[in-house]
Amino acid sequence: LGAWPAIPSCMLASTARAPLLSRSLLPCVLLPCVLLPRTSPGPVGMAQKTNPQDIQAALMKEYQAAVNAHRQNALDEALARYRAVLDIHEAIPAVHNNIAAILLAQGSASAAETSWRRAVELKPEYAEAHYNLAVLLSERAGDGEAELVLSEAEQHCSTALKHRADYVQAHHLMGNILMSKGKPDAATKSYALAEALATSLGVNNAASASDTDAILPTFLDGVRVGHVQQLQLEDGTTRAATTLAMEPLILKIESLLTSDECDELISLAAPRLKASLTMGNTTAATRTSSSVFLPASEAALLVTLQRRLAALAQLPLTLVLRSEDLQVVHYDTGSTFGMHHDSSTFQPRLLTGAAYSI
């Protein structure tokens, strides 16, 4: 946010008419069914009242309801349903994994960590849960115990790769961790391996083809360079959007944020700024800014901005909710932003909304 003035404009830039990037750092495992082990009779009260088939049926009913609610982003309902599953049978690693993902989305990082630790305790070879725990720890590493937390994150990421050698996202995460530990050469190798595996395996973390098909007719149209259109925000007000380019599509939107909104973002971000990282060929990049990601669960304003971006880009809110958190980037006098990649084969950045203070 530059020198922190509060007269922002916004740019929307797209390389293709496609949905927002799904961050995919914390994938939840939505399994179609879970079989109750024969050795587990369920809670005592239920065991006294029903036979094993009834217990299994009750578990499956709650689990399917939880999955359906989770897919619809009805997180409170999904969380209640998952916990009902655990009331029937506590030792289901995938349910602990999904509960953790919801808790983190709701801002309960500590509770999420507890659930992920339980998931890997129940299933030590659970690569996805180790990966998710590594993500959580790596993003927590700025809280005064960076080296210790990063080392544990690296350990969990390594465990994920031990059990899934072709785990593209884990190789990419390892690159992030190594960069944070001041090992750019090793990080570059991890990023390169993630890219190579993604290309050979056809891995892509963008939204599904069905999502893309649903969005194509509704994504905003730049019309032509110089065209000015009125876009409606989430509160019913409008902003003028000027088309600066068509390929890629770039729109400039004036006065996206108010001065008070800028001040709140600054106050949320300033105490937690850390040196910005780069991905890909890290040794070729020059980036001397500081930055931080702000999860939407931390403040009502961040939720409002998600809705505002969805309205401006004319995209379903559910896609924006699954995308990257808001990143605040600060440049001091003399700070640089050299050319570098924030996108990759398996994790393409398809639309960026950037608010600049001028």
Percent with pLDDT over 70 in the chain: 73
User: Contact at 8 Å (CB) between 21 and 347?
Assistant: yes
**Dihedral, CA of residue 333, residue 337, residue 338 and residue 340, to nearest 10:** 160
Query: Using CA atoms, how far apart are residues 157 and 161, in angstroms rounded to an integer?
Result: 6
* Confidence (pLDDT) at 6: 33
- Kindly report, residue by residue over 289-299, the tens digit of the pLDDT: 888 888 888 89
The stretch 296-319 carries a mean pLDDT of 86
Residue 207, pLDDT > 50, answer no
Residue 328 forms beta bridges with which residues?
292
- Kindly report, residue by residue over 255-273, the tens digit of the pLDDT: 888 889 999 999 999 998 8
Q: Rounded mean pLDDT of the chain? A: 78
| Residue whose structure tokens are 């655990």 | 86
Residue 1, pLDDT > 50, answer no
